[in-house]
Amino acid sequence: MTELLVPEAGFTPEALHSESILIVDFGSQVTQLIARRVREAGVYSEIAPFNSAAEAFERMQPDGIILSGGPSSVNDEDAPLVPDAFYQAGVPILGICYGQQVMAKQLGGEITSHEMGEFGRAFVDIETTSTLFEGVWSKGERHQVWMSHGDKVTSLAPGFTTVGTSDGAPFAITADEERRFYGIQFHPEVVHTPDGAKLIGNFARHVCGLTGDWSMAEYRATKIAEIREQVGVGPDGGKVICGLSGGVDSSVAAILIHEAIGDQLTCVFVDHGLLRLNEREQVETLFREHYHIPLVVVEAEDRFMAGLAGQTDPEKKRKFIGGEFIAVFEEEAAKLGGADFLAQGTLYPDVIESVSFTGGPSVTIKSHHNVGGLPERMNMALVEPLRELFKDEVRDLGRELGLDDKFVGRHPFPGPGLAIRIPGEVTKERCDILRKADAIYLDEIRNAGLYDAIWQAFAVLLPVKTVGVMGDARTYDSVCALRAVTSTDGMTADIFPFDASFLTGCATRIVNEVKGINRVVYDYTSKPPGTIEWE
Ligand SMILES: Nc1ncnc2c1ncn2[C@@H]1O[C@H](COP(=O)(O)OP(=O)(O)OP(=O)(O)O)[C@@H](O)[C@H]1O
Ligand SMILES: O=c1[nH]c(=O)c2[nH+]cn([C@@H]3O[C@H](COP(=O)(O)O)[C@@H](O)[C@H]3O)c2[nH]1
Ligand SMILES: NC(=O)CC[C@H](N)C(=O)O
Ligand SMILES: [Mg+2]
């Protein structure tokens, strides 16, 4: 564990790092990925929606600006714009997709809307050298990129030259090397542009001239400062309760908040009856052994089961669970004499799937219990220090905080627990059946030494009964589906390719040992098109 830079009261996060990049958000689905790539390049970044970017600029005094993509067309009447002052600030600018188009338009170029765009994989031909590509791409080469646009630049703004072209975009890559303005039609932030991360790194280092000395240690110190600022420290500071599940995210959040505000924090673990076998005891023991943070364990099985009775719609189940979690937290807060803040280990993927991050156009895939599943009325303000991070970054932060490997390496487990792994009605009896099957499956995975190679694995209990024969007798019982995926951040996932013999072994054990299940199947669907959980 590295020593923490303890920020003083009244301290601002900007004071911690000398280098930063401002990302102006025009509502792209993948703006957070730009921030992530900048972090990977070792540079602190902040995202500001286009309409508050001027204030963010004043505060941060960034060394570079990246303009995101977005759903608007620059030819629309109310098209969102970049504050004019940014073009006069002498700071390098990288415009991506809409960002390229809006910069071209504002600086005197032209953009045309076409019926046919380029969506998905495309290729760019590099026509000249550019500081943006130094050491990555050279003149005369052709490279794969990822595009998603209907509009395109058709006439360059004064000072710009064409650096690269694609079939659908004659000005796919444009540069004004003197002003250090770059406009690219493709998206370097997504993995489908294989050299994209390097290009963003080049923008930070070669174009903006940054050294890239930002680290998770600094993220930790920055967040501690922000938490202190939000909650207040000492006798006049607020009280915080943190929903703790024993999962990586909430454990990291709890430790971080505890570092920031000490005993103003109490953790609350809710046993809603939807946990895995022996999970409550394990989490309680592990947490009390490792940390001296007050922990309240709430027995809430009956109320969750009662509320779930008769519910079969996945979104209704999720919304009920989200609301009931908050009701429990509020009751526990009252018992502690009131709390002003509720802390959660919410991550960026929870946010993007539930709602749009800065008011952009993204659709709701499913209401994660801790975001879209929250009730409208909330007494406590939220403290969510991990809200911009992806899972693997949270694990890095956990290691930085000295979190035990037993926590860092745990497979994710969703807050609504077994409820979203039992399609149809959830009952205690069905939870008990699933708990047994899931425990056997994970036991087999651990015994085979596969736990760490898999990102997440679990069993699902289907609302389907099939006929079987056991000991010469007919059975008519439920089907259990097994799922295991590989992933880095849970946003996309691939199935884990078990050997057939491993799956046969699991199926045999589950059918033999779990009463109520007589058939086992394996889920071969990646994400997309599937999601990881079944509901
Ligand atoms: N049983 C629970 N009791 C209290 N809070 C919970 C519980 N389950 C989930 N939460 C809260 O909801 C948040 C989101 O849950 P989520 O499962 O995404 O994170 P996690 O459990 O901390 O980590 P992981 O994703 O590794 O399981 C948690 O960080 C925690 O604040
Ligand atoms: O805390 C959570 N509350 C939720 O409501 C929720 N829904 C899904 N997940 C977890 O998120 C990751 C992506 O899951 P999906 O592909 O099913 O959306 C996977 O790791 C899922 O287990 C949740 N976690
Ligand atoms: N992904 C984007 O930024 C798209 C920009 C603009 N809406 C277009 O269709 O060209
Ligand atoms: Mg969890």
- Active-site residue flag, 114: no
Confidence (pLDDT) at 183: 98
Ligand 2 atom nearest 365 alpha carbon = 18
Atom 19, ligand 1: residue with shortest CA distance: 249
How far is the centre of ligand 4, averaged over its atoms, from the C-alpha of 251 (Å)? 10
- Catalytic residue, candidates 187, 272, 368, 369: 187
How far is the centre of ligand 2, averaged over its atoms, from the C-alpha of 188 (Å)? 27
Confidence (pLDDT) at 513: 97
Confidence (pLDDT) at 406: 80
> Is residue 247 a known part of a binding site?
yes
> Is residue 109 a known part of a binding site?
no
Q: Which ligand is nearest to the CA of 120?
A: 3
Q: What is the pTM of this model?
A: 0.77
- Active-site residue flag, 368: no
Say if residue 19's pLDDT is above 70. yes
How many angstroms separate the CA atoms of 421 and 408, rounded? Answer: 23
Q: Which CATH architecture has domain 216-408?
A: 3-Layer(aba) Sandwich (3.40)
> Is residue 250 a known part of a binding site?
yes
Confidence (pLDDT) at 1: 35
The C-alpha angle 350, 203, 64, rounded to 5 degrees, equals: 80
Ligand 3 atom nearest 187 alpha carbon = 1
- Active-site residue flag, 187: yes
> Is residue 249 a known part of a binding site?
yes
DSSP-based helix, strand, coil % in the chain, nearest 5: 35, 25, 40
How far is the centre of ligand 4, averaged over its atoms, from the C-alpha of 248 (Å)? 7
Amino acid in the structure at residue 492: T
Q: Return the structure tokens found at 237.
A: 């500071």
Say if residue 39's pLDDT is above 60. yes
Confidence (pLDDT) at 358: 43
Range list for CATH 3.40.50.620 in the chain: 216-408
**Which tens digit of pLDDT belongs to each residue from 152-191?**
999 999 999 999 999 989 999 999 999 999 999 999 998 8
Q: Is 149 in the pocket of ligand 3 (CB under 6 A)?
A: yes
Ligand 3 atom nearest 113 alpha carbon = 10
User: For the chain, what is the mean pLDDT?
Assistant: 91
Integer CA distances (angstroms), 8 to 2, 139, 423, in order: 18, 50, 50
CATH of domain 427-522: 3.30.300.10
Q: Is 360 in the pocket of ligand 3 (CB under 6 A)?
A: no
Range list for CATH 3.30.300.10 in the chain: 427-522
How far is the centre of ligand 1, averaged over its atoms, from the C-alpha of 248 (Å)? 8
b/e code 48-80 from CB counts within 10 Å (16+ = b):
bbbeebbebbeebebbbbbbbbbebbbeeeebb
With the C-alpha atoms ordered 444, 448, 449, 453, is the resulting torsion angle positive or negative?
negative
Atom 18, ligand 2: residue with shortest CA distance: 531
**Which tens digit of pLDDT belongs to each residue from 44-73?**
888 899 999 999 999 889 999 999 999 899
- Catalytic residue, candidates 19, 189, 384, 535: 189
**Which tens digit of pLDDT belongs to each residue from 101-139?**
999 999 999 999 977 788 888 999 999 999 999 999 999
Q: Return the structure tokens found at 253.
A: 């959040």
Mean pLDDT, residues 473-501 taken together: 92
How far is the centre of ligand 1, averaged over its atoms, from the C-alpha of 285 (Å)? 17
**Number of residues written out for the chain:** 535
**Which tens digit of pLDDT belongs to each residue from 373-432?**
666 667 899 999 998 888 888 999 999 999 888 889 999 999 999 999 999 999 999 999
Integer CA distances (angstroms), 47 to 106, 194, 342, 476, in order: 21, 23, 24, 55
Confidence (pLDDT) at 279: 95
Contact between 49 and 94 (Cβ < 8 Å): no
Q: Which of 430, 410, 65 is nearest to 246 (CA)?
A: 410
How many angstroms separate the CA atoms of 83 and 376, rounded? Answer: 34
Q: Is 165 in the pocket of ligand 2 (CB under 6 A)?
A: no
Q: Max CA-CA distance within the chain? A: 84
CATH 3.40.50.880 for domain 17-207, yes or no, is yes
Contact between 163 and 128 (Cβ < 8 Å): yes
Range list for CATH 3.40.50.880 in the chain: 17-207
Confidence (pLDDT) at 372: 66
Atom 21, ligand 2: residue with shortest CA distance: 414
> For a substitution probing ligand 2, which of 421, 533, 534, 535 has the most ligand atoms within 8 Å of its CB?
533
